[in-house]
Structure 1
Amino acid sequence: MIVRLDPNSKTPPYEQVKSGIARRIRNGSLAVGTKLPTVRALAAELGIAPNTIARAYRELEEVGLLETKGRAGTFVGASGDVTLRRARDAAAAYAEQVRALGLSADEALAIVKAALET
């Protein structure tokens, strides 16, 4: 199964599908070029409406994690690798600045957490 839903979660099903697929792309368990199930097939497998899957796929495509190739299907996109590389590069640059400023790792992480929450 490509993703699992938690029926007791307050998170909407489309968001669970979206975040589950995104997580698998980012951790490498869904590699670039992997063909995903059709909208109808995944909806049937999960027991939810096809529009729910379509919304998740569409939002993942908007951020470059998925590519739809017409009748050929939906695939894990290559830009997911680019996104991760950019994030790693930005993190490395930040770490370098933090060291130059003499901040501790705890202070640096607190700054990042605060920035992500805004």
Structure 2
Amino acid sequence: MNEPPQLSVTTTDPTPPYEQVRRQLAALIGSGALPPDERLPPLRQLAGDLGLAVGTVARAYRELEAAGLVVSRRGGGTRVAGPPARPAATADDEPVLRAAEEYVWRARAAGADRGSIVAALHRVLDATP
């Protein structure tokens, strides 16, 4: 990792600390500030830096992994996931698939689940002539 991400946890915020960490990391991933294959700080290091229990940071990392934003490997640390492999597309489909991938990637980084992503897409399609 070039520079550690600048994260902070506010004890006066009613949002649980693990969720504050998850949201901040997801935003950094979604914005590209943490690019694919970038290694996140080790759990113990980040927990120490933020004054949190290791289990709190571990929960944030697990939730990011469940959303497909990071990949954890024993001995390899936790790294930002790249966009998932997709089926081959025709030349006509390529721009649409690229746009859809970016939409899904950013929505997941914002914390949206599959149902929310699909529902938002349906709302936009229904509102567009």
Task: Tell me if 1:6 matches 2:2.
Answer: no
Q: Secondary structure at the match of 1:68?
A: strand
Unaligned residue ranges in structure 1 (runs of 5+): 101-118
3-state SS of 1:64 partner: coil
- Structure 1 stretches of 4+ with a deviation exceeding 4 A read 80-83, 90-97
Map residues 30-69 of structure 1 onto 2, 5 A cutoff. 30-69=34-73
Residue deviations 1:26-85 (CA, integer Å, cap 9, x gap): 111111111000000000010110000000001110110010121011000113898534
Q: 1:26·1:84 contact (CA, 8 Å) conserved in 2?
A: no
How many residues align? The count is 100
Question: Over aligned residue pairs, what C-alpha RMSD do you find?
Answer: 2.8
> Quick one: distance in 2 between partners of 1:54 and 1:38?
10
Alpha-carbon shift at residue 99 of structure 1 (Å): 3.2
Percent of aligned pairs with the same amino acid: 35
Question: Which structure has the bigger radius of gyration?
Answer: 1
Cα shift readout 1:64-116 (whole Å, capped 9, x = no counterpart): 0010121011000113898534378x77886454231xxxxxxxxxxxxxxxx
* Residue of structure 2 aligned with 1:15, choices 15, 19, 25: 19
Equivalent residue for 2:110?
none
Q: Which residue matches 1:98?
A: 127
Q: Say whether the 8 Å CA contact 2:30–2:105 is kept in structure 1.
A: no
1:92–1:49 distance in 2 versus 1, CA, 3 Å: closer
TM-score by length of 2: 0.65
For structure 2, the 5+ residue unaligned runs are 85-97, 107-117
Alpha-carbon separation, structure 2, partners of 1:10 and 1:83: 33
Give 1:48's aligned amino acid. Answer: L
2:53 maps to 1:24: no
Give the secondary-structure state (helix, strand or coil) at the position aligned to 1:79. coil
For normalisation by structure 1, the TM-score amounts to 0.71
